[in-house]
Amino acid sequence: MKSKLKILVITINMVIFSSARIVNAGDIKGNVKVLGGKGLEHVVVYIERVEGKTFSPPTKNAIVDQARMTFVPHVLPLLSGSTVAFPNSDSTRHNVFSPSKTKKFNLGTYPAGITKKVTFEKTGVVSLLCNVHPEMSAFILVLQNPYFAIADKQGKYKISDVPPGDYTFVVWHPKFKSKNSKITIRQEGSVTVDFFLDE
């Protein structure tokens, strides 16, 4: 009985310990700078691919609003399979469409108060445009895994709970060429990756 209890305690400890290790898997943090210093809040950093795993998209829809002749947000990273709602909160009609190969679609022209939805399966960049207002623009990044983040206005970012492994870590900005870096996430601790985008 005593030995069975001991095995049970060890088993419980292992589960707790291993769970704790997964929960506390590595973080990636850093700072991104861009030439001219503008638009840091549009920087997306992400792990290109996590092999051997699939990830379920969130059940709650993401939103790209149309307000004051602008798509809000301007940049939206999301997990493959996610659905985006496109409400029209403006006083004018809009026509959301995308000419991108990643997801070509056209929602047609619709007035204020209407919301239309699109699900994004294929990974890649999707340019959002409005056929009525050619200056309107936004981008959706459809990603393979949930390990991504948008930088803050100072260019700082943090991605938590990344499982251990070797990855290609990518930085993306709508006006610069993307860059990437090879990183290794260990069982614990954090990795710092800084980027400077200048072309």
Partner 1 sequence: MKNIVLIMVAAFMFLLISEESYGIPEFARKYKTSCTTCHTAIPKRNAFGEAFRRNGFVLPKGDAQLIKEEPVSLGAEGWKEAFPDAIWPGVIPPNLPLAVYVHNRLAYDPLKPNGQKIGFGMPHELELLFGGAFGNDVGLFGEWAFFDEGKNAVGLNRFFFQFNDIAGPKDALNIKVGRIEPGITSGYMSANRITLDRPITIDYKASGDWRPRDNQAGIELNGILGSNFEYAVGVVNGEEKTTPFKDRKDVFARVAYKIGGMGLDGTGADVELKETDNWEDNAVTVGAYTYVGNYLKTPSGGGATYSNNFNRFGFDLRAGHGRAELTGGLITGEDENPFGNLKKLKHTAYFGEVDYIFYPWLIGVFRVNRAQSKFADDDRDKYWEINPNITILYRANIRFSIEGRFRIDEKRTVSGVEKDPSEKRAFRLFRINAMIAF
Q: Is 120 exposed, middle or buried (0-12, 13-18, 19+ CB in 10 A)?
A: buried
Look up residue 88 and give its DSSP letter.
B
Counting contacts by CB under 8 A, is residue 198 touching partner 1?
yes
How many chain residues touch partner 1 (CB under 8 A)? 23
Q: Which stretch binds partner 1 (CB under 8 A): 3-11, 23-31, 97-105, 159-167?
A: 97-105
Q: Which amino acid is at 6?
A: K
Least distance CB 196 / partner 1 (angstroms): 8
Pick between residue 52 and residue 134 the one whose CB is nearest to partner 1: 134
Q: How far is CA 158 from the centre of its chain?
A: 12
Query: Of the candidates 11, 20, 36, 186, which one interacts with partner 1 according to CB under 8 A?
Result: 36
Q: Which of residues 10-29 bind partner 1 (CB under 8 A)?
A: none
**21's tokens:** 């290790």
Counting contacts by CB under 8 A, is residue 174 touching partner 1?
yes
Least distance CB 138 / partner 1 (angstroms): 8
Could you give the C-alpha distances from 46 to 35, 39, 86, 93, 156, in angstroms and in order? 20, 17, 24, 34, 13
Q: DSSP states of 168-185 as a string? A: EEEEEETTEEEEEEEEEE
Q: How far is CA 119 from the centre of its chain?
A: 15
Least distance CB 15 / partner 1 (angstroms): 49
Q: Which of residues 41-80 bind partner 1 (CB under 8 A)?
A: none
Q: Rule CB under 8 A: which residues touch partner 1?
A: 34-39, 98-101, 127-129, 134-137, 139, 174-176, 198-199
